[in-house]
Amino acid sequence: MRIVVLAGGIGGARFLRGLKQAVGPLARAEEAQITVIGNTGDDIHLFGLKVCPDLDTVMYTLGGGIHEEQGWGRTDESFSIKAEMKEYGVGPEWFGLGDKDFATHIVRTQMLGAGYPLSAVTEALCARWQPGVRLIPMSDDRVETHVLTDIDGERKAVHFQEYWVKLHAAVPAHAIIPVGAEQAKPAPGVLEAIAEADVIILPPSNPVVSVGTILAVPGIRRAVAQAAAPVIGLSPIIGGAPVRGMADKVLAAVGVETSAAAVAKHYGSARGTGLLDGWLVDTSDAAAVAEVEAAGIPCRAVPLWMTDVAASAEMAREALAFAEAVRA
Amino acid sequence: MRIVVLAGGIGGARFLRGLKQAVGPLARAEEAQITVIGNTGDDIHLFGLKVCPDLDTVMYTLGGGIHEEQGWGRTDESFSIKAEMKEYGVGPEWFGLGDKDFATHIVRTQMLGAGYPLSAVTEALCARWQPGVRLIPMSDDRVETHVLTDIDGERKAVHFQEYWVKLHAAVPAHAIIPVGAEQAKPAPGVLEAIAEADVIILPPSNPVVSVGTILAVPGIRRAVAQAAAPVIGLSPIIGGAPVRGMADKVLAAVGVETSAAAVAKHYGSARGTGLLDGWLVDTSDAAAVAEVEAAGIPCRAVPLWMTDVAASAEMAREALAFAEAVRA
C-alpha cells in the first residue's frame, strides 16, 4: 500500500507517527510505503543558513529527536549559539534555534551551497534520522510564504515566520502569499508518488499555510485531483478552533470560516472541482457531517485529538478504513 | 606611539596581551595605538563556514574569551554541534569547533555572504570583543597555506590545518605554499599602518606559516623593509626548539635551522635586504647574540618565556626599549 501524505509541521508530524504505527507491521515488510510531501513555504534564511521548520519537524518527530512538549526543535537542546548571537548583536532574536538544530541547518546549507537540490539534501539528512517514510520537499525551488498584515498602521508583507513566531499571529492577516510558488516546480518524485498512490491523506495540518502552500505549487493540486487514489482529509479544526496553532487567523485571510465543515468545503469535493473523497471530523463536530456530505464529501465523525501516539494511530486507521470504504 | 605587530595565533596573541599591559596607561590615553596585521593563511572553510583561527585567537585572547590552557577556542565551551556532525557523518572530525566558536564563524560567513570584505567583518566582530587593538587581516583576498608532504608514500599538498591539526606535523614538510598569496592585495589600512608606524614588532609567532605568510602578500614585505620605524623581532625559538607548536617542521621545509640565530638571519638585517633592526633572543641563547650581530642585526638576550601576562609585558617593554635604542 502506497500512502501519500501532504504534511506541514507539528500536526502533520504527529499524525505521521500514528500512521507509521497503524501500518507498522506492513511497513516493516515493505508492503506499505509512506511518502510525505513536505511544506517548504515556512522555510527561512536565518544567520545565512537555510532553515526548513516543517521538514525538520517531520524528520525529528519520526526519527526520535523531537522536543516532545514543544513539538518542534530538538530534545535536550542547548542554546549557546543563540546567546552568542545576542552578544554579537545579530538577530533575529525571536526565532529560537538550539545548538543541535543549528547543526542540521549548517549541514543543509553546506550541501545546498555545494549544489545539491533540497530534495537530495533532505534525503541525506534522513539517512541519519531514518524517519521510516520517504520525505520529499514539495519543491526544490524557493517558495516563501508571506503574510500581508498591518504593522504600526502600515500595510506590509512579512515572512510567515515573522507573522507566526514574532507577531504570534496577533495582527490581522489580509492575504497569504506563497512568494515564488507560481514559478516553482514539484520536486522530483512528488507527482509520481501522487499518481501511484493507493491513498492520499491530508492530515490535520494547517489548510492554508501548510497543505495550501503545497497545493499552490503548479501541478500538485491537479495531480491530487486526478489521482486514482481516494483523498481523505482530517479536520485540523475541532469545535470551531484550531487543535493547535493559529489556523483561524490564516483561514480568515482566505475567507474561510474556522469550522470543520468550512475547511472541508475549502478543499472541495472530488466529485466536483475539489479534492476530497472523504473528510473526518471530530466526534464533537458530528453535527457538521450532514453539512459536509451535502457538499458532496463523504464524512465521518471520529475522535481527532492526537493526545498520544495510540490516538493518532487510531485516527490513521480510521482514515485508511474510510479510504477503503469510499474506494469500494 | 603607533605600534604595528604582524601576528599569527597563540604566540602572537599572548605577546599582544603583554604589549597591551606594557603600553596600558598610554593606550588608555589614546597615545599608543596598536595595529595588528593578522595572518589569514590558516583560514579554512569547514562545514561551509569561513574559519579564521589566527584572527579569532587574537580576538578571543585580547577580548577575554579565550580558552586559557588550550590557547585557542572559547572558554566554557560546549560541543553539541560537533557531536551532531558526527551523527550526520559530516567531517572533518579532526578540527574541533565548539558551539560558541561556531557562532563566530556563522556571523562571519553571513557577513561575507552579504558582500562585506573580511576586514570589515573582523572590525564588526571586534566591536563585540573590544580587543583594545585594531585588528586587520593581512588581506581581504583568500590565501590558503598548503603544505607539500608525503601521505601513504605519495607526494601531496594538504591544507595547513590538515598538516598541523590532523597530521600533527608528524610527516615531512617539503614546501610551504601560500596559495593565492601572489594575487592577494593587502587589506585596506595595512600598508598605511606600516608606513606610519613608530615601531614594528615581529612577535614570537611562527616565522614561516604566520609572519612568513603575512610577508608573502605582495607589498607587505617591502612596506616593512622601507618603513621609517625600527623593526624588532622576538625569537620564537628558545634553546633550539619552538616555544610552542611545531615551527621546527616548517622551518626545515624552508631550509632554516631551528635556532634563534637562524630565524634572525632568515628575516635578515634591515641594513641589507632584510627586515630586522633588532632581534631579541632568550637569555639561554645569549651565546647566539654574537652570531646574530655578525649578520648585521643588533641583538639582545632577555627572558622570552611568556609564562604569564607580566612576563609577556616585560618582553614587550624590552622590545619597545630596544626600538628606542636602535632608533637613537
What confidence tens digit (pLDDT) does each residue in B270-281 have? 999 999 999 999
Tell me which chain A residues have a C-beta less than 8 angstroms from the C-beta of B87.
Answer: 128
Q: How confident is the model over B179-209, as pLDDT tens digits?
A: 999 999 999 999 999 999 999 999 999 999 9
Q: What is the pLDDT of residue A28?
A: 56
* C-alpha–C-alpha distance, residues A244 and A12, integer Å: 11
Q: What share of chain B in percent tops pLDDT 90?
A: 93
Question: What DSSP designation does A321 have?
Answer: H
Q: What is the pLDDT of residue B246?
A: 85
Q: With residue A233 as reference, give the H or E element that holds it.
A: strand A231-234
**Of the partner residues B47, B80, B85, the one whose CB lies closest to the CB of residue A78:** B80
Is residue B47 predicted with pLDDT exceeding 60? Answer: yes
Residue of A nearest to B76 (CA): A80
CA distance B181 to chain A (A): 25
Dihedral (CA of B305, B311, B317, B321) sign: negative
Classify burial at B21, counting beta carbons within 10 Å of its beta carbon; exposed 0-12, middle 13-18, buried 19 or more.
Answer: middle
A88 with B49: Cβ contact below 8 A = no
Q: What is the pLDDT of residue A29?
A: 47
Most A-contacting residue of B77, B84, B102, B128 (CB-CB within 10 A), to test interface: B84
CB atoms within 10 A of CB B165: 17
Beta bridge partners of B299: B279
Tell me which chain B residues have a C-beta less than 8 angstroms from the C-beta of A106.
Answer: 47-49, 81, 85, 102, 106
* C-alpha–C-alpha distance, residues A117 and A130, integer Å: 20
Q: With residue A147 as reference, give the H or E element that holds it.
A: strand A144-151
Q: What is the pLDDT of residue A24?
A: 80
CA distance B202 to chain A (A): 31
Is residue B29 predicted with pLDDT exceeding 50? Answer: no
What single letter denotes the amino acid at residue B90? V
Q: What is the pLDDT of residue B243?
A: 87
Strands A33-38 and A134-137: parallel
Most A-contacting residue of B81, B100, B126 (CB-CB within 10 A), to test interface: B81
* C-alpha–C-alpha distance, residues A318 and A200, integer Å: 13
Angle at CA B124, nearest 5°, toward B120 and B130? 125
CB atoms within 10 A of CB A117: 16
Question: What DSSP designation does A93 have?
Answer: S
CB B5 within 8 Å of CB B118: no
CA distance A85 to chain B (A): 7
Give the side-chain half-sphere CA count within 13 A for B198: 14
* C-alpha–C-alpha distance, residues B67 and B57, integer Å: 9
In total, the C-beta contacts within 8 angstroms joining chain A to chain B are: 82
Tell me which chain B residues have a C-beta less than 8 angstroms from the C-beta of A127.
Answer: 89
Strands B44-46 and B144-151: unpaired
A107 with B99: Cβ contact below 8 A = no
A103 with B113: Cβ contact below 8 A = no
Q: All 3 cell numbers of residue B139?
A: 588581506
* C-alpha–C-alpha distance, residues B281 and B302, integer Å: 6
CB atoms within 10 A of CB A273: 8
B107 with A128: Cβ contact below 8 A = no
* C-alpha–C-alpha distance, residues B63 and B56, integer Å: 10
Q: Give the residues of chain A that fall short of pLDDT 50.
A: 29
Contacts of A320 (CB under 8 A, 6+ apart): A3, A22, A23, A199, A232
**Of the partner residues B84, B102, B107, the one whose CB lies closest to the CB of residue A90:** B107
* C-alpha–C-alpha distance, residues A227 and B204, integer Å: 72
Q: Which residues of B touch A (CB under 8 A)?
A: 47-49, 78, 80-81, 84-85, 87-90, 98-100, 102-104, 106-107, 109-110, 113-114, 125, 127-128
CB B42 within 8 Å of CB B145: yes
B110 with A99: Cβ contact below 8 A = no
Task: Name the nearest CA neighbour of B194 among B159, B168, B230.
Answer: B230
A106 with B49: Cβ contact below 8 A = yes
CB A80 within 8 Å of CB B78: yes
Task: Name the nearest CA neighbour of A104 among A139, A128, A68.
Answer: A128
Beta bridge partners of A74: A66
Contacts of A287 (CB under 8 A, 6+ apart): none
Is residue B26 predicted with pLDDT exceeding 60? Answer: no
* C-alpha–C-alpha distance, residues A165 and A9, integer Å: 14
ipTM: 0.92
CA distance B270 to chain A (A): 42
Angle at CA B184, nearest 5°, toward B180 and B188? 150
* C-alpha–C-alpha distance, residues A217 and A143, integer Å: 9
Average pLDDT over all residues of chain B: 95
Residue of B nearest to A122 (CA): B88
Q: Which residues of A touch B (CB under 8 A)?
A: 47-49, 78, 80-81, 84-85, 87-90, 98-100, 102-104, 106-107, 109-110, 113-114, 125, 127-128
3-state secondary structure of B243: coil
